[in-house]
Amino acid sequence: MRLSALPAAAALVAATLASAAAPAAADTLAGPVLQADLEAGKGRHHNTGTVIYERVDGAVNSVRIISVSITGGELDCAWVAWNDPHGADGWSNLTTEPSCHGTGLGEYPDMIIKAPAGHPLKVRLAADHPGSDVVHKDIQKL
């Protein structure tokens, strides 16, 4: 009699675990969280950036920007932008300010960027040395 009760108890535990797991699955993001890593310059001009994003479910050529982080080179100021088809120069910043002189900056804009079909979304790390024409860039497709 004990042996027959064991499978029933196991089934009850499995059902309880499955019902507890169901709400957690509903809270997960619709799509995978993706990351674009950016790097430009060398030595004291080494700049890095990371964009964490996800595709917008059901939308054409749209992504939600979750976070942006930048570390400007020791001698540079760096910022991250996206290739906005409506931007004055074709780019719009994803952060409110640049990261300068070796400092780091992290922001969580939680914004959706959109472009027409056929306009591939890209992000760009751009850095320059103030007072110089030297510009470092890295561009990644989203």
pLDDT value, residue 30:
57
Low-confidence ranges of the chain (pLDDT < 70): 1-30
pLDDT value, residue 20:
44
Residue numbers of the domain that contains 115 = 34-141
Q: How far is CA 30 from each of CA 26, 33, 51, 54, rounded to the nearest angstrom?
A: 9, 9, 18, 9
Question: Cα separation of 89 and 131, whole Å?
Answer: 21
Tell me the CATH number at 46: 2.60.40
Residue 107: inside a domain: yes
Q: Is 33 helix (H, G, I), strand (E, B) or coil?
A: coil
Residue 64: inside a domain: yes
Residue 50: inside a domain: yes
**Is 118:14 a contact under the CB 8 Å cutoff?**
no
What would you measure as the largest C-alpha separation in the chain, in angstroms? 86
pLDDT value, residue 139:
95
pLDDT value, residue 35:
97
Q: How many domains does the chain have?
A: 1
Residue 4: inside a domain: no
Question: Cα separation of 65 and 96, whole Å?
Answer: 14
pLDDT value, residue 8:
47
Residue 6: inside a domain: no
pLDDT value, residue 62:
93
Query: pTM of the entire structure?
Result: 0.75
